[in-house]
């Protein structure tokens, strides 16, 4: 067993992961420990990159952070609520309200237009789309697609699609934006554009958690967390982050 | 969540469902075809069945559901030869005047008994000669059989009493016999006697048949001449002679038909076996037949019910096949859109949101198919009627039934795929290519 990090209790951190285990029982003999008691605090307004080789527990970490999966043990405090033990419906709600997702392959819904794609998270929270329409248009303008509201994803370039996804991740005003290899499918120039946009969001106070294996991408973050064998192996602080709400 | 929100979500879901379906127009259209044909066949088949039975039931109803009709029947050839020993040409059969009075005297619940003599003769006026039925009957024939007096009057009790040589014509016969003259006050010739025309009538139920064969079908009976029963008896006598193609036949027959009017329909049921027993006692051979319209009506309805069940089942099976088609397509759609489901789940959709989304799509498909099917199903019977002349009746209930079934099929066959979609693990779904 590698040495476990001492838990650092940081009650002011908006995201607190305390002793999280994730175990997959594939069969009686084959039990996989994807995470082994991970502790992690993420401050509001910080920009965190998570790196690690495949099999390091990075993906499992991402799923748990995104409330797509529940840990086997431990607690996960997201904005004052322990989401680790929530039933499925509440977990769905937590995703819809507290997390903005940016995926590697954009994951826009093909039959919807740009503006409709941005509205999807609101739809599942029962927000009246007529009243929120103005805000959605603002977000589309923010990502530079104000003139393409009625385009479908297939009519947009990869970079444009990813920008729609960024606008969509913002629409519910989440606690954290969770980006999974956001530049993985983009050429370096548009990738840089997207990263700059994400950086801009962080500069405006959004908490960003970005999973990547690209050092250059990770270099933009305040903190880089390296994972290995289901644990946080080491953490590199690139630059200090502003402490909000203290 | 408020009702408003639920309603709003539903409308959005339906819009979204239609949008998703329009993404694959051909596929959605082909899927709907199953339901369209199913709904269409339910409505069309039931309409044709309903039309057929309506005609039969109307024909029976016109006989009068309170009536029991007894007809004289010419005995079959073999029984005649065995019965008539000694080579007499006289054939004595049929109902007697006494049968009528026995019926009144013994059967409970009898309101009236209407005797009829029906003789086929030619009626002549001037150069015109029309073959017709000369019906000798009593004045209340008018009420029991249902006759509208168009002009003049029907037969009266005095005509009967004095054996008057008067007659009443059906309007069709009057037109044929008197193309240019006013038939009233004219006299026409039947056999060797002259009869004064006192009235023109129309039989309310022209389907009513009094053919000797006892079948419901026969020639149109608008060629009727009504004369008083007593006149018929004295002018034609009881023995009718018929010469045709060298053969010569004499029949002794008193009455051709007796219509027994019962006080109510319940009396019909009890009287039916009683009349059979009574007549059996006084008639050695089977020279009469009983027609109970109520019984026929009941049988016709029974047949109709079976007919409807069979047709309905066939149509329902086609609807079922349509439903399975929908389910099949929806399962394929769920697999195809696994990624979308994962995305929606990640963006906050609950399991029931996903269920609702796919269920709405299935229901939109089946209801859409149902609407088109109803339209085609309502048009089809019209076309059938136009082409074949068959009567068809599209009942509201069959339309509602077909439409309801199509909606139910949407829900039943949509639940499984929708549930399968909702149960997908969001992580797996997001990873799906």
Residue of chain B with shortest Cα separation from A65: B346
**Per-residue pLDDT averaged across A206-229, rounded?**
93
Quote the pLDDT of residue B75.
Answer: 76
Contact B348 A112 (CB under 8 A): no
Contact A125 B348 (CB under 8 A): yes
pLDDT in tens, B297-346: 888 888 888 888 888 888 888 888 888 989 999 999 999 999 999 999 99
Give the least confident one: B203-207, B209-213, B307-311.
B209-213
Instruction: Determine, yes or no, domain membership for B292.
Output: no
Q: Which residues of A touch B17 (CB under 8 A)?
A: none
Domain check: are B8 and B51 in the same one?
yes
- Alpha-carbon distance B123 to B225, whole Å? 9
Contact B12 A88 (CB under 8 A): no
Contact A111 B20 (CB under 8 A): yes
Contact A89 B351 (CB under 8 A): yes
Q: pLDDT band at B213, cuts 50/70/90? A: very low
Number of domains in chain B: 2
pLDDT in tens, A112-171: 999 999 999 998 888 887 888 999 999 999 999 999 999 999 999 999 999 999 999 999
Mean pLDDT of chain B: 84
Number of domains in chain A: 1
Instruction: Determine, yes or no, domain membership for A40.
Output: no
pLDDT in tens, B62-84: 777 788 889 888 876 655 554 44
Instruction: Determine, yes or no, domain membership for A74.
Output: no
Chain B contact for A184, CB < 8 A? no
Q: pLDDT band at A1, cuts 50/70/90? A: very low
Instruction: Determine, yes or no, domain membership for A28.
Output: no
Q: pLDDT band at B268, cuts 50/70/90? A: confident
- Structural domain that includes position A142: 45-68+86-237
Domain check: are B18 and B149 in the same one?
no
Domain check: are B116 and B192 in the same one?
yes
Contact B8 A88 (CB under 8 A): no
Q: Which residues of B touch A101 (CB under 8 A)?
A: 346-347
Quote the pLDDT of residue B265.
Answer: 80
Quote the pLDDT of residue B210.
Answer: 41
Of B339, B348, B427, the CB nearest to A124: B348
Domain end residue (candidates: B236, B262, B286): B286
Chain B contact probe: residue of A22, A34, A60, A68 with most B CBs at under 10 A: A68
Domain end residue (candidates: B263, B286, B309): B286
**Per-residue pLDDT averaged across B10-29, rounded?**
85
Domain check: are B112 and B232 in the same one?
yes
- Alpha-carbon distance A194 to A178, whole Å? 14
| pTM of the model as a whole | 0.72
Instruction: Determine, yes or no, domain membership for B13.
Output: yes
Q: Does position B404 have pLDDT exceeding 80, yes or no? A: yes
Among A19, A56, A53, A50, which residue's Cα sits nearest to residue A34? A56
Say which CATH number the domain at A223 has. 3.40.50.300
Name A101's bridge partners.
A178
How far does the CA of residue B334 sit from the closest CA of chain A (Å)? Answer: 14
Q: Which residues of B touch A109 (CB under 8 A)?
A: 340, 343-344
Percent of chain A with pLDDT over 70: 94
Domain check: are B182 and B46 in the same one?
no
Q: Which residues of B touch A103 (CB under 8 A)?
A: 343, 430
Instruction: Determine, yes or no, domain membership for B339.
Output: yes
B interface with A, Cβ–Cβ < 8 A, is 1, 5, 8-9, 12, 19-20, 23, 339-340, 342-353, 426-427, 430
* SS3 assignment for chain A: CCCCCCCCCCCCCCEEEEEEEEEEECCCCCEEEEEEEEEEEECCCCEEEEECCCCCCHHHHHHHHCCCCCCCEEEEEECCEECCCCCHHHHHHHHHHHEEEECCCCCCCCCCCHHHHHHHHHHHCCCCHHHHHHHHHHHHHHCCCCCCCCCCHHHCCHHHHHHHHHHHHHCCCCCEEEEECCCCCCCHHHHHHHHHHHHHHHHCCCEEEEECCCHHHHCCCCEEEEEECCEEEEEEECCCCCCCCC
Instruction: Determine, yes or no, domain membership for A105.
Output: yes
pLDDT in tens, A92-104: 999 999 999 999 9
Tally of residues, chain A: 246
Quote the pLDDT of residue A6.
Answer: 52
Per-residue DSSP letter, B145 = I
Quote the pLDDT of residue A9.
Answer: 56
Cα pseudo-dihedral A215, A216, A221, A224, rounded to 10: 10
Q: Which residues of B touch A69 (CB under 8 A)?
A: 427
A57-116 residues touching B, CB cutoff 8 A = 63, 66, 68-69, 88-89, 92-93, 95-97, 101, 103, 107-112
Apex B178 CA angle, B173 and B179, nearest 5? 105
pLDDT in tens, B347-400: 999 999 999 999 999 999 999 999 999 999 999 999 989 998 888 889 898 889
Nearest-Å Rg of the Cα atoms of chain A is: 18
Instruction: Determine, yes or no, domain membership for B66.
Output: no
- Alpha-carbon distance B235 to B189, whole Å? 12
Quote the pLDDT of residue B199.
Answer: 92
Contact B353 A121 (CB under 8 A): no
Distance of CA A238 to the CA centre of its chain: 19
Domain check: are B124 and B271 in the same one?
yes
Domain check: are B270 and B344 in the same one?
no
Quote the pLDDT of residue B219.
Answer: 46
Contact B9 A168 (CB under 8 A): no
Q: Does position B221 have pLDDT exceeding 60, yes or no? A: no
Domain check: are B213 and B165 in the same one?
yes
Contact A111 B19 (CB under 8 A): yes
Residue of chain B with shortest Cα separation from A59: B427
Domain check: are B128 and B23 in the same one?
no
Chain A contact probe: residue of B342, B348, B428 with most A CBs at under 10 A: B348
Quote the pLDDT of residue B344.
Answer: 95
Quote the pLDDT of residue A227.
Answer: 94
Domain check: are B424 and B275 in the same one?
no
Instruction: Determine, yes or no, domain membership for A125.
Output: yes
Quote the pLDDT of residue B57.
Answer: 80
Domain check: are B325 and B410 in the same one?
yes
Percent of chain B with pLDDT over 90: 29
Q: pLDDT band at B85, cuts 50/70/90? A: very low
Name A211's bridge partners.
A50, A180
- Structural domain that includes position B174: 74-286
Q: Which residues of B touch A66 (CB under 8 A)?
A: 346
Q: Which residues of B touch A92 (CB under 8 A)?
A: 345, 348-351, 353
């Amino acid at each position: 067993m590698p040495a476990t990090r001492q838990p650092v209790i940081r009650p002011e951190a908006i995201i607190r992961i305390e002793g999280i285990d994730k175990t997959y029982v594939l069969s009686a003999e084959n039990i996989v420990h994807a995470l082994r008691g991970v502790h992690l605090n993420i401050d509001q307004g910080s920009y965190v990159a998570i790196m690690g080789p495949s099999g390091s527990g990075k993906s499992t970490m991402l799923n748990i952070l995104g409330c797509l999966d529940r840990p086997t043990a431990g607690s996960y405090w997201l904005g004052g609520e322990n989401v680790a033990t929530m039933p499925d419906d509440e977990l769905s709600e937590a995703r819809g309200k507290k997390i903005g997702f940016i995926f590697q392959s954009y994951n826009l819904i093909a039959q919807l237009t740009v503006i409709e794609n941005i509205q999807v998270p609101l739809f599942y929270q029962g927000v009246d789309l007529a009243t929120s329409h103005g805000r959605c248009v603002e977000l589309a303008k923010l990502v530079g697609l104000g003139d393409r509201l009625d385009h479908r994803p297939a009519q947009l370039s990869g970079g444009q699609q990813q920008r729609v996804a960024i606008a969509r991740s913002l629409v519910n005003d989440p606690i954290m934006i969770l980006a999974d290899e956001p530049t993985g499918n983009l050429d370096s120039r548009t990738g840089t554009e997207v990263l700059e946009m994400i950086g801009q969001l962080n500069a405006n106070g959004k908490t960003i958690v970005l999973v990547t294996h690209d050092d250059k991408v990770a270099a933009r973050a305040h903190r880089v967390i390296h994972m290995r064998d289901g644990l946080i192996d080491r953490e590199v602080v690139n630059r200090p982050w502003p402490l909000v709400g203290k | 969540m408020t009702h408003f929100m639920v309603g709003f979500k539903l409308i959005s879901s339906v819009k979204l469902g239609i949008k998703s379906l329009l993404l694959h127009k051909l596929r959605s259209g082909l899927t709907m075809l199953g339901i369209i044909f199913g709904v269409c066949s339910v409505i069309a088949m039931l309409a044709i069945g309903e039309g057929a039975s309506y005609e039969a039931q109307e024909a029976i109803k016109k006989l009068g559901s309170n009536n029991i009709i007894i007809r004289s029947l010419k005995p079959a050839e073999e029984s005649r030869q065995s019965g008539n020993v000694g080579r007499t040409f006289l054939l004595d059969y049929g109902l007697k005047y006494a049968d009528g009075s026995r019926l009144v005297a013994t059967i409970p619940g009898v309101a009236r008994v209407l005797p009829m003599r029906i003789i086929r003769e030619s009626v002549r006026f001037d150069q015109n000669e029309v073959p017709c039925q000369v019906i000798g009957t009593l004045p209340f024939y008018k009420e029991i059989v249902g006759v509208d007096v168009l002009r003049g009057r029907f037969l009266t009790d005095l005509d009967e009493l004095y054996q008057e040589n008067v007659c009443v014509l059906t309007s069709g016969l009057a037109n044929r016999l008197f193309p240019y003259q006013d038939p009233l006050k004219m006299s026409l010739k039947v056999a060797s006697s002259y009869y004064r025309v006192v009235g023109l009538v129309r039989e309310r139920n022209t389907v009513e048949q009094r053919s000797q064969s006892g079948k419901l079908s026969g020639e149109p009976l608008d060629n009727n001449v009504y004369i008083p029963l007593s006149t018929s008896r004295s002018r034609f006598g009881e023995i009718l002679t018929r010469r045709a193609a060298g053969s010569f036949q004499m029949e002794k027959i008193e009455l051709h038909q007796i219509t027994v009017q019962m006080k109510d329909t319940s009396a019909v049921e009890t009287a039916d076996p009683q009349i059979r027993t009574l007549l059996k006692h006084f008639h050695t051979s089977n020279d009469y037949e009983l027609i109970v319209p109520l019984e026929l009506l009941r049988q016709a309805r029974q047949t109709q019910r079976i007919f409807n069940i069979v047709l309905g089942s066939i149509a329902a099976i086609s609807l079922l096949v349509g439903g399975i088609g929908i389910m099949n397509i929806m399962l394929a759609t769920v697999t195809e859109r696994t990624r979308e489901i994962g995305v929606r789940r990640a963006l906050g959709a609950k399991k029931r949101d996903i269920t609702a989304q796919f269920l709405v799509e299935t229901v939109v498909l089946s209801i859409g198919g149902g609407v088109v099917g109803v339209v085609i199903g309502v048009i089809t019977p019209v076309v059938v009627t136009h082409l074949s002349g068959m009567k068809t009746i599209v009942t509201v209930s069959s339309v509602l039934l077909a439409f309801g079934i199509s909606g139910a099929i949407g829900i039943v066959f949509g639940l499984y795929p929708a549930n399968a979609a909702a149960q997908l693990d969001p992580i797996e779904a997001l990873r799906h290519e």
